[in-house]
């Protein structure tokens, strides 16, 4: 199951619906890279209202951008043109008043519910608040953000920072909020649907954290699809421009409260996480996004640091495809999947994985020639399996969804793999370099202070009642 759009009072909202698995390749729901006012966009959340797509993001009083086609975007307003509410400044006096973070939008009871955060960067001193509005259109007479006050506050004794909220409705209609950053990671807790605040007596459940607290996990987003809850989160460090180490990882569970495991069976509470997206080319440190249904398919809306533009944070929207293993892959904007044929896939391909794969896997850099007779140079074989290209070489195997010149899939270790057609001048072969985790050494502050005591495992709260 997944989310699709339904119409309620003229507003398009997310509802649960079937998402076909193993269907014929479909045209892309995102025609190509976004254009217009798409820079200085960080931590985007995207929704649709009355024919318009809206993106809210961190920075600049929390900008509101709008598009009719998911390609051309314009800045149309701010949530906080006069700065955050006074109660935020009272709690965090050293944080600039326009520095509101990580918006999360959901729609219910005729209003938009916006969770947002303010934090003292690199610490656990943070707050999450709630605003509501009847519409996202600043030109509407009904447009007015209403401050609903504080939802959560944390300090340096807290298990995690009160940022990166994500509101979610479970299969029973119950409301939840996920949040967290670094230290003991991501938590989820029941919410009172009448107030948007936490339900009295409901336990906070720890659903993801890294083995080392400084490795970082934040920017979580939960989505239900095909009978599974999928947890998408960002690992590493944001906010350092081209030195950022963000990458996006995913796990799944039959229950919203976990336990979540990755494609290799590793628990996300013990540092697991199957890579969905990492750095490549001018795309550096992609992360912190939302999973949004568009025309019956899911897209991943996120920011990245544009190496070709001085490391400025920029918006990206890319389609999610679901592989024969049942796990998602994130393709490049504009990727048009085709059914592979022998004539279409023959020639030389370069296969790589994302840098963050080095946390737990071998680094892959393979240049392989696919011959017309089904053999691979320097060794191995390839074949077409329905809409998937499968390759075996040097004791390893890969599957790819392909276009005319690119491919996206996974290898036998579940690593996310990018394929690119080459001009045939590169040497054939498979090279691997064993990597191991290490503390970050790039510029910018590390989260300060020692890690807090580990959170005890708690029983999940009831999902009904």
**Confidence label for 16 from pLDDT (cuts 50, 70 and 90):** very low
DSSP states along 333-367: TT---B---HHHH-EEEEEEE-GGGGGTSEEEEEE
Q: Which domains does the chain have, with CATH numbers?
A: 2-330 (2.115.10.20), 342-434 (2.40.128.10)
Q: What value does the mean pLDDT take over residues 175-186?
A: 96
pLDDT at residue number 333: 94
The pLDDT tens digits for 287-321 are 999 999 998 899 999 999 999 999 999 999 999 99
Is pLDDT at 187 greater than 70 in this prediction? yes
Residue 208 near residue 231 (C-beta atoms within 8 A):
yes
Among 209-213, 227-231, 257-261, 424-428, the least confident range: 424-428
3-state secondary structure of 194: coil
| Active-site hit among 37, 43, 49, 262 | 43
* pTM for this predicted structure: 0.87
Comparing 21 with 75, which gets the higher pLDDT? 75
DSSP states along 380-396: -EEEEETTEEEEEETTE
**H or E element: which one contains 461?**
none
**Confidence label for 402 from pLDDT (cuts 50, 70 and 90):** very high
Among 128-137, 343-352, 431-440, the least confident range: 431-440
The pLDDT tens digits for 331-355 are 999 999 999 998 889 999 999 998 7
Is pLDDT at 98 greater than 80 in this prediction? yes
**H or E element: which one contains 417?**
strand 416-421
**H or E element: which one contains 89?**
helix 86-91
Tokens standing for 354?
A: 């994302």
218 counts as catalytic? yes
| Active-site hit among 37, 137, 184, 218 | 218
3-state secondary structure of 147: strand
pLDDT at residue number 430: 79
**H or E element: which one contains 21?**
none
The pLDDT tens digits for 372-388 are 999 999 999 999 999 99
Going across the sheet that includes 146-154, the strands are 101-108, 111-119, 126-133, 146-154
43 counts as catalytic? yes
Q: How many helices (H) and strands (E) does the chain have?
A: 2, 32
Q: Which residue has the tokens 């004791």?
A: 395
**Confidence label for 450 from pLDDT (cuts 50, 70 and 90):** very low
Q: Name the DSSP class of 31.
A: -
In angstroms, how far is CA 133 from the centroid of its own chain?
A: 25
Comparing 342 with 286, which gets the higher pLDDT? 286
β-strand pairing of 283-294 with 186-191 = unpaired
């Amino acid at each position: 199951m997944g989310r699709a759009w339904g119409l309620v009072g003229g507003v398009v909202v997310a509802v649960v619906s079937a998402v076909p698995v193993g269907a014929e390749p479909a045209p892309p729901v995102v025609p190509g890279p976004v254009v217009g006012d798409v820079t200085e966009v960080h931590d985007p959340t995207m929704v649709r209202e009355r024919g318009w797509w809206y993106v809210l993001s961190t920075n600049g009083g929390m900008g509101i951008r709008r598009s009719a086609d998911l390609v051309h975007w314009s800045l149309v307003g701010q949530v906080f043109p006069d700065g955050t509410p006074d109660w935020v400044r009272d709690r965090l006096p050293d944080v600039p008043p326009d520095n509101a973070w990580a918006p999360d939008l959901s729609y219910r009871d005729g209003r938009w519910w916006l969770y947002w955060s303010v934090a003292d960067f690199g610490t656990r001193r943070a707050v999450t608040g709630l605003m509501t509005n009847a519409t996202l259109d600043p030109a509407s007479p009904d447009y007015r953000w209403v401050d609903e006050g504080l939802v959560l506050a944390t300090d340096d004794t807290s298990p995690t920072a009160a940022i990166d909220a994500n509101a979610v409705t479970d299969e029973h209609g119950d409301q939840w909020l996920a949040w967290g950053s670094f230290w003991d990671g991501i938590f989820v807790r029941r919410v009172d649907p009448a107030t948007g605040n936490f339900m009295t007596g409901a336990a906070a459940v720890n659903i993801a954290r890294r083995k080392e607290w400084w490795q970082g996990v934040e920017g979580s987003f939960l989505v239900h699809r095909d009978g599974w809850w999928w947890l998408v989160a960002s690992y590493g460090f944001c906010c350092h421009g081209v030195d950022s180490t963000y990458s996006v990882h995913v796990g799944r569970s039959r229950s919203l409260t976990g336990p979540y495991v990755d494609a290799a069976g590793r628990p996300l509470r013990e540092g697991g996480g199957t890579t969905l997206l990492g750095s490549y080319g001018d795309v550096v440190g992609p992360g912190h996004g939302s999973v949004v249904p568009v025309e019956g398919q899911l897209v991943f809306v996120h920011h990245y640091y544009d190496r070709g533009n001085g490391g400025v944070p920029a918006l990206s929207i890319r389609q999610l495809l679901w592989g024969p293993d049942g796990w998602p892959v994130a393709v490049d904007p504009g990727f048009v999947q085709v059914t592979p044929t022998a004539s279409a896939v023959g020639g030389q391909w370069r296969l790589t994985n994302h840098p963050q794969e080095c946390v737990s896997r071998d680094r892959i850099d393979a240049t392989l020639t696919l011959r017309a007779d089904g053999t691979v140079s320097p060794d191995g074989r390839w074949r077409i399996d329905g809409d998937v290209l499968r390759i075996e070489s040097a004791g390893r195997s890969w599957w790819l969804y392909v276009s005319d010149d690119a491919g996206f899939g996974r290898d036998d270790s579940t690593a996310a793999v990018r394929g690119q057609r080459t001009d045939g001048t590169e040497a054939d072969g498979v090279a691997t370099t064993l990597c191991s985790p290490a503390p970050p050494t790039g510029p910018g502050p590390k989260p300060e202070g020692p890690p807090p005591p580990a959170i005890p495992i708690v029983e999940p709260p009831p999902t009904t009642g």
